[in-house]
C-alpha cells in the first residue's frame, strides 16, 4: 500500500519489533500475544512506512503497565526524532507529558 521496497521492509520490521520489545516473539502468531503486546504490534505496523505524522487514539487504554511504559518511551523517541504525533487521551498526565499544545 505504501510501496515500501521489500529489502527495506525486512529491516523496518526488525527495527519496529525491537523498538517495541517484540523482536524475540517475531516468529509467534499475533493471536498468542497479550492485549498489551497486540496494542504495541498495531502501533509498530503503523510505523513500517516511516510516516511523518502518526495519529494515536487512546493507545494506552486497558493495557498493562509494562506495555503502557513501552508506548510512552516510543512516543517520546519518535517525537525526539522529529515525528509529528497527534495523540488523543482522557488521561491528563499523558497529555501533559507528551503535548507541546493541548
Q: What CATH code is carried by the domain that includes residue 12?
A: 3.40.50.300
DSSP state of 33: S
Q: Supply the range of the domain harboring residue 39.
A: 6-98
Asked whether residue 46 is assigned to any structural domain, the reply reads yes
Asked whether residue 75 is assigned to any structural domain, the reply reads yes
Helix, strand, coil % over all residues of the chain, rounded to 5? 55, 10, 35
φ/ψ of residue 80, rounded to 5? -60, -35
pTM of the complete model = 0.87
Whether residue 70 is predicted with pLDDT greater than 80 in this model: the reply is: yes
Asked whether residue 54 is assigned to any structural domain, the reply reads yes
- Average pLDDT on 40-58 reads 95
Asked whether residue 1 is assigned to any structural domain, the reply reads no
Asked whether residue 56 is assigned to any structural domain, the reply reads yes
Asked whether residue 70 is assigned to any structural domain, the reply reads yes
Number of domain units in the chain: 1
Q: 10-48 pLDDT, tens per residue? A: 999 999 999 999 999 999 999 999 999 999 999 999 999
Q: Do residues 88 and 57 make contact, with C-beta atoms less than 8 angstroms apart?
A: yes
Whether residue 2 is predicted with pLDDT greater than 90 in this model: the reply is: no
pLDDT for res 16: 95
Amino acid at each position: 500500500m505504501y510501496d515500501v521496497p521489500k529489502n527495506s521492509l525486512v529491516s523496518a520490521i526488525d527495527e519496529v519489533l525491537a523498538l517495541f520489545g517484540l523482536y524475540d516473539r517475531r516468529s509467534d502468531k499475533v493471536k498468542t500475544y497479550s492485549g498489551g503486546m497486540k496494542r504495541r504490534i498495531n502501533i509498530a505496523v503503523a510505523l513500517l512506512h516511516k510516516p511523518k505524522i502518526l495519529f494515536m487514539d487512546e493507545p494506552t487504554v486497558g493495557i498493562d503497565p509494562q506495555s503502557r511504559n513501552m508506548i510512552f518511551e516510543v512516543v517520546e523517541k519518535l517525537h525526539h526524532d522529529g515525528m509529528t504525533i497527534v495523540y488523543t487521551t482522557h488521561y491528563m498526565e499523558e497529555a501533559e507529558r507528551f503535548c507541546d499544545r493541548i
